[in-house]
Chain A
């Protein structure tokens, strides 16, 4: 006998759960699904890379080409110098594809309550884990800091970007220090935004399929369709914001060269 009406509330998970141990290392459901998605992503992109031709092929390859061109155009319009933009394209395309595919795999029916192991869901989206998004944001911001120090030519010149005028003016000093603190919070805002959007999307779909009782597919459908859009939007926003953080410093540095020349 299957139950038609649920008699318990919607099941909501905010944190990933340990599903098995590899030796002594606990493996959570989010990293497990992340590995599966990474294997899929790498093999799929290798398949696509062997089939890219000058004359465009039909089918799913065009979608990947479109995603590449979308991010390349985004980076080219953000940077003033096209040669500098070319250097940073590979990292941000990788970032965009990883977040996009991981986000969209949240919406498959086998992710979540369908498959269980040790009482917890076997598959949980990789980006619905604060550790994963924090790691992504930390690596991205580390790369941005490293590149901006390199582009502005020395650590002292990089710090000089934060000050409008001379740092010995007390007002400019306070504004510059505040700018530095704002800069350090970017790691947290990037990671929290992605994590909360993915997690809350999952919770919203769970709550509305619970409220729908027997009509759960109908009540959850509009939210699932919105989530397809929001997941792609979050991948775009994560990429755009990290490109902007880098572009501010790089454009600033090239501005000064033009003025002195």
Chain B
């Protein structure tokens, strides 16, 4: 018998939150990094703009962190 007597919906909600919340930032950081490398490949002088690329990583990352933080208040 594999019937669960109780289902912890909180755990399911936390899993969905983490899984869904990190999709967007994952894609976003991948795009930023990929485009940065492409720009450096075409124009090696663009390598000095790494600091500015990291700022956009931080802006994108915030939304993933918000999803992570909200599992503690569910």
A interface list, Cβ under 8 A from B: 14, 189, 192-193, 196-197, 199-200, 233-234, 236-237, 240-241
Contact = CB atoms under 8 A, between A and B. Distances in A.
Nearest to A14: B72
A237 B55 contact: yes
Given A196-B65, A200-B68, A200-B69, 14 more contacts: A14-B72, A192-B66, A193-B62, A196-B62, A196-B69, A199-B69, A200-B65, A233-B58, A234-B58, A237-B54, A237-B58, A240-B51, A240-B55, A241-B55
A57 to B, nearest CB: 28
A200 to B, nearest CB: 6
A234 B55 CA distance: 9
Contacts of B54: 233, 236-237
B68 to A, nearest CB: 6
A76 B66 CA distance: 33
Range class of the B interface residue count = 10 to 19
B66 A196 contact: yes
A240 B54 CA distance: 11
A193 B61 CA distance: 8
Contacts of A193: 58, 61-62, 65
- Chain A facing B: main interface SS: helix
Contacts of A14: 69, 72
A230 to B, nearest CB: 10
A193 B58 CA distance: 8
Contacts of B68: 196, 200
Interface string B53-71: 0110010011001101100
B53 to A, nearest CB: 12
Contacts of A197: 61, 65
Contacts of A234: 58
A240 B56 CA distance: 11
Interface in B22-74: 51, 54-55, 58, 61-62, 65-66, 68-69, 72
Nearest to A203: B68
